[in-house]
Amino acid sequence: MKSLINTAVLVLFLCLLKNASSQELLSPEAAISIGLANNFDIRLVRQDAAIASNNFSPGNAGFLPELNLTATQNYSLTDSKQEFLSGQVNDRKGAAADALNAGLQLNWTIFDGMRMFVNYNRLRELEQKSELMVLLTVESSVQQILSTYYSLISLNQKIVVVEKSIAIDNERLKLQTDMLDIGSGSRLEMLQARVDLNADSAILLNLQNQLSQAQTTLNQLLARPADTRFLVQDTFALRNDLLPDQLTQKMLAQNTSLLLSRRDEHLAALVLREIKGRQAPSLGLNVGYNFVNQHSESGFLAANRSLGLTYGIQANMNLFDGFNNLRERRNAAIMIESGRIRTESLENELTGELQKNYDSYQNKLRLLAMETQNVRSSAENLSISGERFRLGDLSGIEFREAQLNHMTAQGRLLQVLYEAKLLEINLLQLSGELVLN
């Protein structure tokens, strides 16, 4: 029966060699690199971050003055009749007049109760928050990319298992057919071998469809054509340096969702400072330079021209606003407390998620050791059953049971390995280490 397994391995090797010659090998690092460059969600959130970065400026915070230039040119035609005390009469029909007014005005708030400094800090916080939003989106995308990538590896490995089983099915069917032809076999055994072959072939078709779907999903995550074909690595390994205390410390220090919640706390505190600043007086400086040039065919002056500088200081202080400022301060204090509660709640939730994922991860590692032993035992059982089947000491149904046991054990091992990898990715994401690693 060893020849059956050797044949299966040879067929599988030739198939993989043929595919490898026509498709590129995509590593997890390359997939992440492509995703970071092309993923639509990441590109969109980076646009929001660019806007927040543009908004973080002294001018937007109110530090800089405003300088305005105004100019107007007016014309008029007027019928007028003027009688003076001296008896003189000035009667004009369609008297023309024009006036040019131009001015340069500078307004500068030089003190506003420190609100401009608060606004500047708020804009900085918003910029940093937007960067965290980018990081959160990147983490989510990387998590999806890696999960899909490793599912492809797992599916390929499962396909290898089923293809080996199909190769054995073909050899078994051939053996049963040959025995039937020479009169020493059973038609029932031959038909059962064919049924088993078809059953494994159906499993293979289903796995191949899952593989195709997963490839399309990964292409979508990488924002490239859905029909792009590629190969992935054959295997993946699990890390052995994930310790619960270290993961918890890293999570509390650098989990992105937690950092965002703390950033919202800072923003709420700045809102309170801005509201308090409204109670302080404000002081502004204004400087203007104006030019006036007028002409008229009626009236006392035929022409009037002036050019000069104006300047002044403006002070303002609200003495009473119907207790609205007091109300807003109380509401802002409540928002600060609400933000603190949300952060504590999130810390508690994330700590629980980390513990559950770590416990599940450890359980998967124990299952992995058990399933590895099961695969070894089932492989030995299959080898012994194959020899007995070849000698006629074992029926086809009994051999099939040994074959199914081995295939099922391999499938469980691969599934546990994949699930452990997903939990590992979750642990890295929760601890803020996913993108760093």
Q: Which residue ranges form the domains of the chain, and what is each CATH number?
A: 2-69+111-287+322-430 (1.20.1600.10)
Predicted local confidence at residue 185, as pLDDT: 78
Instruction: Write down the pLDDT at residue 18.
Output: 46
On the question of pLDDT at 249 being above 90, the answer is yes
The answer, yes or no, to whether residue 314 has pLDDT greater than 60, is yes
| Mean pLDDT along residues 134-159 | 98
62 phi/psi in degrees, rounded to 5: 105, 10
pLDDT (tens digit, 9 = 90+) per residue, 168-213? 999 999 988 988 888 877 899 899 999 999 999 999 999 999 999 9
* CA distance between the termini of the chain: 45
pLDDT band per the 50, 70, 90 thresholds, residue 6: very low
Of 334, 351, 336, 343, the C-alpha closest to 262 is 343
pLDDT at 15: 45
Residue 21 has pLDDT above 70, yes or no: no
Residue 37 has pLDDT above 90, yes or no: yes
Q: What is the pLDDT of residue 179?
A: 86
The band of 299, judged by pLDDT with boundaries at 50, 70 and 90, is low
- Which of residues 379 and 302 earns the better pLDDT score? 379
Band (pLDDT 50/70/90 cuts) for residue 301 is low
Distance CA 345, CA 357 (A): 18
Nearest to 146 by CA among 432, 367, 423: 423
Q: How many CB atoms lie within 10 A of CB 358?
A: 19
Place of tokens 């996913």: 434
pLDDT (average), residues 9-19: 45
Average pLDDT for the chain:
91
